[in-house]
Amino acid sequence: MTAAVQLEIIRRDEGSRARRGCLHTPHGPVETPCFMPVGTQATVKATTPAELRLAGAEIILANTYHLYLRPGADLVRRAGGLHRFMHWDGAILTDSGGYQVYSLGALRKISEAGVAFRSHLDGASVFLRPEDAMTIQRDLGADIIMAFDECAPYPCAPAYAAESAALTARWLRRCLRAAPGGEQALFGIVQGSVFADLRRDCARDLADLDLAGYGIGGLSVGEPKGLMYEMLEAVVPELPEDRPRYLMGVGSPDALVNGVLRGVDMFDCVLPTRIARNGTAMTRAGRVVIKNARYAEDFLPLDPGCACETCRHYSRAYLRHLFQAKEILGLRLLTLHNLHFLETLMREIRAAISAGDLAAYGRGFLAAYGYTDSKEMSF
């Protein structure tokens, strides 16, 4: 195991697999469980790094595929790496481009050697091998780098999921041979779609490789929430207790609570920033669609219990006005609020683990938010 990134377990929850910890990285400590804002193009949309810090973020995510296409990994390397290029002094995790193997399905072809893409920018041919993903992430300079993988779609046949997971395992071994090492920690990714036996086998195989950490991929791609939680229950017991576990692409409040209770340490998702740009805010009482006419003369804060800059200084009426007038400030203020909301949720989850009442906290939070279905309160 590389010494670049290590997880210190501080407290375990007696009633679940949840644990509170500290992820030690070359760019500072990250308290876990944590939510990582997504900065696909070396920017978390509509925010500055200073604002991310104010929201409570200690680690962010950037994307290998997109930065390889534009502005180019070599340019980022010559600029001093992602940290200096984007003026972020905290930890960074880079996705390998594996998710684009799934999301750009119409523009790619998978083979044993790697993936041939047709660039969504200009149609140019791009071929990525597992070794290329390692070289690009070395040049980007992230603290945590992800192995190249295939994220199988949902639904898919068991035979497809099995071959996809086997291909991901073979690619991982190529990534290991090509990984830069030093101050970059390589995480492998557990695949297997919604088939528990495949997930367990994949997790055991990865655990034997003594990796710095473990991603759980291929979930939150359309499957019912209950199935996602079943897969976590199958996978997490097979992974090493002293390594971080990262549930990829998940960021709804119910999934964060349920994921932590099942032993997940790290999450990321575009959800809070994407819905903010469309006029939707997360609040203690559930989602608020600020464009609705009911807020035209509502002079209350967006979320009265929130301490973010948006809620301390601006009313719902003003925020609605900004969206109606198509002013950029509106989407910025909602983005900042949503990120602060999820970072606050994770801070409260960590405190609840330390206090020994995570399940009670989770039920109270989700009930107030408006989650009542059994799949959202399945603990």
User: What amino acid positions are annotated as catalytic residues?
Assistant: 95, 268
Residue type (1 letter), 170: R
21 neighbors 316 (Cβ within 8 angstroms): no
Angle at 311 between CA 360 and CA 321, to 5 degrees: 130
* Alpha carbon distance 366, 371 (integer Å): 5
Characterize 207-245 residue by residue with b for buried, 16 or more Cβ atoms within 10 angstroms of its Cβ, and e for exposed.
beeebbbbbbbbbbbebebebbbbbbebbbebbbeebbb
CA-wise closest residue to 212 among 187, 190, 234, 231: 187
Phi/psi for 300 (5° steps) reads -75, 160
Tokens 């290029």 found at:
85
Per the DSSP assignment, residues forming a β-bridge with 9 are 21
Greatest Cα pair distance in the chain: 61
